[in-house]
Amino acid sequence: MPNFRQIYDGIAVAYLGRGLARRDGLSEAVIARAEKLLGVRLPEALREYYACAGNASGLNEAHNHFRNPRDLYFEGEYLMFMDENQAVVSWGIKRADLGEADPVVWQRNNTPPEEWYSEEKSFTELMASMFEWYKSEGI
């Protein structure tokens, strides 16, 4: 299994210019409470992101808005975890894929007709490419 903490720390170093600190993460209790409310266990890649960077506003609110675990919800068969800064698109993970360590992410176009498209990237690949794009755009 990939070392998700190492991946997210690398993203933080590249984007924020510093590694992740303990204060950047959320507690296991916060993550477990969200899982209990949702009735599912989050994929390891998403759990570790919250544990490492769930409080890192410099990452979670830089452009797109990454949801706090208490704000996760299901829309149909998708666990919604992030919205574009103007809510033009949102991202989710298929319920059927939640058992995978690093599942493929899906994007929904929020203008009618709403449609889902595979990003053809895992959660960690999407996060890495998103921050690379931020950096290239000066965000």
pLDDT digits (tens, 9 = 90+) for 50-105: 999 999 999 999 899 999 999 999 999 999 999 999 999 999 999 999 999 999 99
E strand or H helix at 80, and its extent?
strand 78-83
75's tokens: 């829309």
Task: Please report, for the domain that includes residue 37, its CATH number.
Answer: 3.40.1580.10
Do the beta carbons of residue 36 and residue 43 sit within 8 Å?
A: no
- 39: alpha, beta or left? (left if phi > 0; alpha if psi -120 to 50): left
Owning domain of residue 25? 4-137
pLDDT digits (tens, 9 = 90+) for 115-130: 999 999 999 999 999 9
Give residue 40's pLDDT.
98
Would you say the C-alpha torsion 132, 127, 65, 14 has a positive or negative sign?
negative
pLDDT at 2 over 90: no
Distance CA 123, CA 120 (A): 10
pLDDT value for 138 = 84
Tally of residues, the chain: 139
**pLDDT at res. 116:** 97
Q: Which of 48, 40, 49 is nearest to 99 (CA)?
A: 40
72 is written with which tokens?
């996760």
* Contact yes or no for 117/106 (Cβ under 8 A): yes
Q: What's the total number of domains in the chain?
A: 1
